[in-house]
Every structure is written in C-alpha cells, then in structure tokens.
A and B are shown apart, each in its own frame.
Chain A
Amino acid sequence: MPTQTAGQHSSTRESVDTAKLSTHNLGMVFHRGGETISVLEKINLAVADGEFVCLLGPSGCGKSTLLNTMAGFLSPTSGEVRVDNQIVQGPDPRRIFVFQERGVFPWLTVEGNIAFGLANLTREERERRIAHYVQMVGLQGFEKAYPSELSGGMKQRLEVARALAVNPDMLLLDEPFGALDSITRLTMRQELLRIWQTERKTIVFVTHDIDEAVQLADRVVVMSARPASIQQIVTIDIPHPRDISSARYLELRDGIFAQIGLAHKI
C-alpha cells in the first residue's frame, strides 16, 4: 500500500524541522452565540519546500480555516503554524493566498492588479515583471482591461499572476477553480501545474474535488468532517503529466473515495 496512515503524529516524508511549512497540534475553536464549535483538532502537517499538497475534505470541514491560519489571516486557538521554522504571526507577501471568490481588485486593470504588490520596485523592474506574468498566464492584449471585461477563468489566472509577481515562496490556493466550468477547470489545472513546474513554489491547495487532488498533488491530505483532523495522507506517486485513466491513478483515487466513505457508484 502506498498510502500512509496518519495517526496523532501524521507521518511525513520530511522531518518537521526542515519543512517549509508545518503545523503543530493546531486547533481552532469558534464561539458563536454562546456555542463553542471545534473546527480543527490537532493538525500536524509538514510541507516540504517546493511540494504540492492538496487539502481534501468535505465542504465546511474546516480546510479553508486551516489554510487561513497558514496565511496568517486567522490565529489558531491552540498550537501553531511555522514557516521556515518561524511562528506565523500575520499575513506576509512571501506566502500569497489565492481566494476562492474572485479576489482581484475590480477597480484596477490587469496591469494594475499584477503591479499591486510591486510598489517598492523600480519602474523598469515592475514593467518587466508585469510583462513576464501577463505572458505566463496568457493575458497578452488584456493589459489595460478591467476584471469586469474578463471571463471567470481569466480573472482566476490574473489572480495567480498577481500572486506570482511578488515572487512568494508559497502559494495558498482556496478552491481556486471551484467557480469555473469543468472544461476551464481542466485547463486551469494544466496551467497551474505548468507554472508550478517552472517556478517551483510550495503550493497548498484546498479542494473538495477528489479527482482534482489526485491530478495535481504530490501528497493528498484527507481530512475528516468537523471537527477536522487529518485522516490520512496519500502520496501520489505518478509522474506528471498524469494519465488519468491509468490503473495507478484509478487505484489511488478509489482508495481516497473509500477512505472518505463513499462507494464509487451512483
């Protein structure tokens, strides 16, 4: 069995000390109107530099909350998140969050959005980066367009370009392709993989789509329903480009289906 069972101390390929990103007994409790809701429990996870990890779980299980604590938007109520062995205290341009909703600024053009995090650069460097990332995400000719003039997929690519332009170590993507139609979604996955292979960023990608996770990730972190804990970490040992009708792909995918408790039949 290639899959590893994650217990209290989830086994990882990397030791926690050398990990790019790690969480240590991370827990999150929300208080709503006198009620106490436990959202995350004892999350121990280590992500290696340059690794592509998918957090997979049912909707509302708390995987987005986990990603928000990694970004520094939320502080965990117990435990901690470490990046390069430093405790995360708040958001930082070295790890850019790509939002589930369209997070591009509608009052800025494509260029303006990509340049948003580049205020400290010289003019020449800024323009060089804008041109580079416009090219990378295939938005040539739309430099002066406003987001309202772009399609959903283009907006999502723009957001990825805006994130990459500040040269972060890490991208945190929260169901970035959830709102796109299935054809655009497939293209976007290919493009993200292409970008990841050129730029070698560490990527944590939240999704509830099992196929998406198995197509993209080096490792898939399967999370339980609320309060979310890590159920299992599955290593996807298929090289890219992945043949999604190969026996190994189907085996891994069906393993996750079984793990989540879904019979793979309709």
Chain B
Amino acid sequence: MKDLNLLVRLRPVAFIVVLLAIWQVAVMMHPGQLLPSPWQVIGGLADLLQHGLLFKYVVASLFRVTWGFGLAVILAIPLGLIIGWYHRADMALGPVIEVLRPISPLAWIPIAILWFGVGDLSAIFLIFLGCFFPLLLTAINAVRSIPDVYVNAGRNFGLRPLDLIYRVLYPAVIPQLLIGLRISLGVAWLVVVAAEMIAVNSGLGFLIVDARNAGNRYDLVVAGMVVIGIIGLLLDMAMRSLEKVKSFRWSYSED
C-alpha cells in the first residue's frame, strides 16, 4: 500500500522527467532551431546564480508584486465591502467599474510610463490595476451573497454596526475573499513579467527581454521562464494553505 502511494506521488515527477527527455531528444534532432536544451537552461540558471542576477531579479519582481498586490488589497477590499453593503442605495460606481474592468492592465503601460516614468512605480501601478478590479468585484459579490439570516441573527443578538462588521460580515466573506486573493495574486505575477519587459530594467520580465536583445541568449530566456513558473506555483501554494485554516474553510465543507 505504501509503495503504491509512493508511486502515485512520484507520478508527476516521472512525467516531468519524460517531458525533459523528449525536449532533449527533440533539440538534439533539430539543434539551434527549437529551444535551448534542458542542460543549456540549467547552465543558464547557473550563469545567473554566478553573477548574482537571479536572486536580485527575483527580489525585484517580488518587491513590485508585494506593493502592487498589497495596495490593491488595502483599497479594493474595503471599498468592495462598502459598495456591496450599500447596494440598495443605487450603485453609482457600477458602470465605471464595468468599463474599466475589461481593459487589460497592459493597455495602461503607456499611461503608466507617462505618469510614473520608467521604474518601479510604473510596474507597481500596473500590478495594482491588474489586481484591483478582480478584488473589488470579489468583495462586492462576497458581501451581497451573505445570507440575510446571518445579518439578522447578528442584529438580534444586539450587535452594534462595528461589531456586526467584525463578527458577522468579515467572517462571512472570508472564504470568497480568499478565492479572490488567490486569483489576483496569480494575475499580479502575470502582470509583473509583462510590466518589467517595458517599464523597468530589472526583474524576471526584464531578464527575458534583455537576454534576447543582448545576443539571443535563449538559455537565459527559458531559465527565466522556468523561474517564473516555479515562483508562481509557490505563491499559489502559499495562498492555498490559507484556505486550509479551519475557521476559514467552513464554506468548502458546507453540505
């Protein structure tokens, strides 16, 4: 039984190994046209590590994501909760949000550079935009979908408005907010790469563009992509672990 478990657990690893082998064979059959080989990519990673660039770029990207995502969380969630709560008083902000929401954050790049120049601020602004609208809509919907019984029960036990927010609204919206946070952190990680290709000169997005421009170093390009994928996965795993907190996960186990 234990052996079987081990086999099952190793399955994804084995699959990756097979893919890497196919990749290696394909590159050997068409050298120089398709992709750098896995070995070259590992060499590229080693190169980046040696020059201290890998760590520096990862930190630069994470720094921007932290600020852009953090600011969006701080602004969008309270705003969304308020809009959702007062939906009976006609939603003045609705149409504005609906028009701004479908605009890709990438379309804002020229404006971002105009306003903030080439640098961290531009990238942070773009990440902020990418996270703000999904978070805002999640928060609005989360409040609206709170069943009336919870609010009425809270009022019945004599809660004042502030207590009602802290002891009923907040716990009631947590599960939906967690999903929104997870999605928008994913968006943030997508946007930072694109923003760094244009608006700054450090970070993993910059690494990819720079490696291509400075002498077609495709080993570095793919190395950058691999690092982006792995960090994205780690960020998502971190967000998922929040969903396992017992008092947060009530809605997932509700029958």
Contacts and interface: CB of A to CB of B under 8 A. Distances in A.
Chain A complexes with chain B:
yes
Interface of A: 71, 73, 90-93, 96-97, 99, 101-103, 105-108, 116-117, 146-149, 166
Given A107-B171, A146-B246, 19 more contacts: A71-B156, A73-B155, A73-B156, A91-B155, A93-B156, A96-B156, A97-B156, A99-B149, A99-B152, A99-B153, A101-B147, A102-B149, A103-B150, A107-B174, A108-B247, A116-B157, A116-B167, A147-B250, A149-B253
B: contact size bracket: 20 to 34
A149 B155 CA distance: 26
Contacts of B248: 107
A83 to B, nearest CB: 14
B3 interface: no
Contact of A103 (B153, B158, B255): B153
Interface string B134-161: 0000000000000101101101111000
Contacts of A73: 152, 155-156
Give 7 closest A-B pairs by Cβ, nearest first.
A117-B157, A106-B250, A107-B171, A148-B253, A93-B158, A103-B149, A91-B156
B90 interface: no
B44 to A, nearest CB: 48
25 contacts: A73-B155, A73-B156, A91-B156, A92-B158, A93-B158, A96-B157, A97-B153, A97-B156, A99-B149, A99-B152, A101-B149, A102-B149, A103-B153, A105-B150, A105-B153, A105-B168, A107-B171, A107-B174, A107-B248, A108-B171, A117-B157, A146-B247, A148-B253, A148-B254, A166-B157
Interface string B159-171: 0000000011001
A116 B246 CA distance: 18
Nearest to B163: A119
A107 B247 contact: yes
Contact of A148 (B167, B171, B172, B250): B250
A106 B254 contact: yes
B104 interface: no
A95 to B, nearest CB: 8
Contacts of B174: 107
Given A147-B250, A148-B255, A97 B152 contact: yes
A117 B158 contact: yes
Given A99-B152, A146-B250, A107 B157 contact: no
Nearest to B170: A107
A103 B148 CA distance: 9
A146 B251 CA distance: 11
A171 to B, nearest CB: 11
B152 to A, nearest CB: 6
A116 B157 CA distance: 8
A100 B147 CA distance: 12
Contact of A107 (B149, B152, B172): B172
A106 B253 CA distance: 10
A164 B171 CA distance: 23
Most B CB within 10 A of own CB, among A92, A105, A107, A147 = A107
B162 to A, nearest CB: 13
A90 B155 contact: yes
Interface string B237-249: 0000000001110
Contacts of A149: 253
Contacts of B155: 73, 90-91
A106 B251 contact: yes
A109 to B, nearest CB: 8
Contacts of B172: 107
Interface in B200-255: 246-248, 250-251, 253-255
B253 to A, nearest CB: 4
B122 to A, nearest CB: 40
Contacts of A103: 149-150, 152-153
A101 B153 CA distance: 11
A263 to B, nearest CB: 37
A107 B147 CA distance: 13
A82 B213 CA distance: 81
B246 to A, nearest CB: 7
Contacts of A96: 156-157
Contacts of B157: 93, 96, 116-117, 166
Contacts of A146: 246-247, 250, 253
Contacts of B152: 71, 73, 91, 97, 99, 103
